[in-house]
Amino acid sequence: MRTGEVTTDPSRAVAAASIAEWDHETDVAVIGFGAAGACAALEAARAGAAVTLYEASSGSGGASAMSGGEIYLGGSGGTPAQRAAGFEDRTEDLEAYLMMAGGAHADAAKVSLYARESLAHYDWLVAQGVPYKGTYIAERCIEPETDDTLIWSGSEEAWPFSEKAKPAPRGHVLQYMGWGGGRLLVDTLEARAREAGVDVHVDARARALIADADGAVVGVIVREDGREKAVRVRRGVVLATGGFCMNGEMVRRHAPAALRCDSPIGTIDDGAGILMGQSVGGQAIHMDQFFTTCPWYPPGSLVKGIFVNQAGQRFINEDCYHGRVSRAIVEQPGTKVWLLVDNAIFARPMELARIDLVAVGESWEEVEAELGFAAGTLATTVAQYNAHAAKGVDPVWHKAAKWLKPLDEGPFAALEFNLETSYFSFFTLGGLETLPTGEVLDRRGEAIPGLYAAGRVTCGLPRWGAGYSSGMSLADCTFFGRMAGRAVAARGADEALAAE
């Protein structure tokens, strides 16, 4: 590459006119080799585009490979695993759930498309070789310890979701023993992408987008082999670079509340893709939003306990998804909340979570005093809960009947969730605003020619921390990665072919 005086920086687009010599030309450049990038590259290549994929690290993976590989799937009557387990998952229930999961931020167009196409997306994943055993686990878990497929990975059975969307388990996990199926997911997608002819460059970091005078994206600067190369794209660039949870400065700037959580989940996830999108006019939305969880179950028996904040009040129905509960924990005043349990349901949470047993007593009044609560606060909350639970109801927070039991079998105990010492993972949910096609929208709400994005570099299906369910991010990455790949391949394909 020879340019005038280019100082590459993701925040600043390079003018195409300043590129004296292009180092490489391709139809489509995909940036990032996690699940989103792999799916985008694969679909674009299968649609006939010449695809070059640039990955900053030394191999595929991204945050996708660090995950459990869980994908949120259902609708259209249910996947084979859902149907085998007796769940007929209607599209309208999936759609209603996803809309609620987006909260005020929900993207109706993406939700609607995904709800309709989710079962077909499952079939597509299977066709790529993603293995599913098809078996169901009813017990509460984060991910299966086994190689089973289907788990409850959200708040489907919990109020208020259960009121508006018939519950079904929708977390689909690969046939892979134990946690960590995300690696196998990406490996499978990588193999297909390579078979489809995607030209993969690793140790190749995208540094800046290249735009023409009309604002269209026509290329990308990539640092590779110790120098910066100018890559011209005939059809477009797909950003699939992940979120910004590893960029402390961006988190501080945009999502400072996430700093209450100690453990970002990411690999590179430095926000560079968001900055690149903004550099050509792309709009970032909901940058304050993040997922967090402190994995406080299994054991599922703990769901029968009750959470209280420093006011001694409950603040959520405890049968919600662990991440929804954790997001509510982060919103409470102070730095601690407690899970109150009796002897009948007590069990130790996973070591990983760093949740300590901090008080034990023969009565709730004793626990109350031991924790330093004023008399008649925490104990009153438990008494009220117990009186209702004995009747099988929770009129305060509407915990489902199956999780209700009076906490009256002493001794009694409090497990402490401490934002300063417990494990709270997080990743960011804000990012570039895109159409379901992956087209990146500018600040006027119009698509930027030649620029596409998918996965956590975008604000996708999951966009509200309190509504997150496991598998939503990978559902978004894989499905909307595919959409972006198809859309970019179709862009100007006729002209491109004519020119060849």
Residues at the site binding a copy of itself, with contacts judged by CB under 8 A:
9, 11-12, 104-105, 160, 215, 249, 253-254, 256-257, 259-260, 275, 278-279, 281, 283, 285-289, 311-314, 333, 373-374, 376-377, 380, 384, 387-388, 393, 395-397, 433, 442-445
Closest approach, Cβ 380 to a copy of itself, in A, equals 5
Residue that the structure tokens 């199956």 belong to: 402
Distance CA(122)–CA(293), nearest Å, equals 26
Name the residue nearer to a copy of itself (CB basis): 112 or 380.
Answer: 380
Name the residue nearer to a copy of itself (CB basis): 71 or 209.
Answer: 209
Name the residue nearer to a copy of itself (CB basis): 13 or 472.
Answer: 13
Name the residue nearer to a copy of itself (CB basis): 87 or 291.
Answer: 291
Closest approach, Cβ 37 to a copy of itself, in A, equals 22
Residue 291 amino acid letter: F
Name the residue nearer to a copy of itself (CB basis): 6 or 141.
Answer: 6
Closest approach, Cβ 210 to a copy of itself, in A, equals 16
Closest approach, Cβ 269 to a copy of itself, in A, equals 17
Name the residue nearer to a copy of itself (CB basis): 52 or 326.
Answer: 326
Task: Identify the three-state secondary structure at position 296.
Answer: coil
Name the residue nearer to a copy of itself (CB basis): 12 or 232.
Answer: 12
Task: Identify the three-state secondary structure at position 405.
Answer: coil
Closest approach, Cβ 189 to a copy of itself, in A, equals 31
> Exposure pattern of 307-342 as b/e (b: 16+ CB <10 Å)?
bbbbebebbbbbbbbbbbbbbbbbebeeebbbbbbb
Pairing of strands 439-441, 290-293: unpaired
Distance CA(245)–CA(242), nearest Å, equals 9
Name the residue nearer to a copy of itself (CB basis): 37 or 282.
Answer: 282
HSE-up of residue 479 (Cα within 13 Å, Cβ side): 29
Alpha helix ranges (H) inside 413-492: 472-490
> Would you say the C-alpha torsion 457, 458, 464, 470 has a positive or negative sign?
negative
Q: Are 385 and 318 in contact (CB under 8 A)?
A: no
Name the residue nearer to a copy of itself (CB basis): 290 or 427.
Answer: 290
Q: Which helix (H) or strand (E) holds 39?
A: helix 35-46
Of 54, 25, 27, 26, give the one whose Cα is nearest residue 486: 27
Closest approach, Cβ 458 to a copy of itself, in A, equals 14
Closest approach, Cβ 447 to a copy of itself, in A, equals 13
Return the beta strands (E) in 304-369 as ranges.
306-308, 336-342, 356-361
Residues linked to residue 71 through DSSP beta bridges, in sequence order: 172
Q: What is the Cα 208 distance to its own chain's centre? A: 25
Closest approach, Cβ 215 to a copy of itself, in A, equals 8
- CA 465-469-474 angle, to 5 degrees, is 100
Q: Are 242 and 429 in contact (CB under 8 A)?
A: no
Closest approach, Cβ 161 to a copy of itself, in A, equals 12
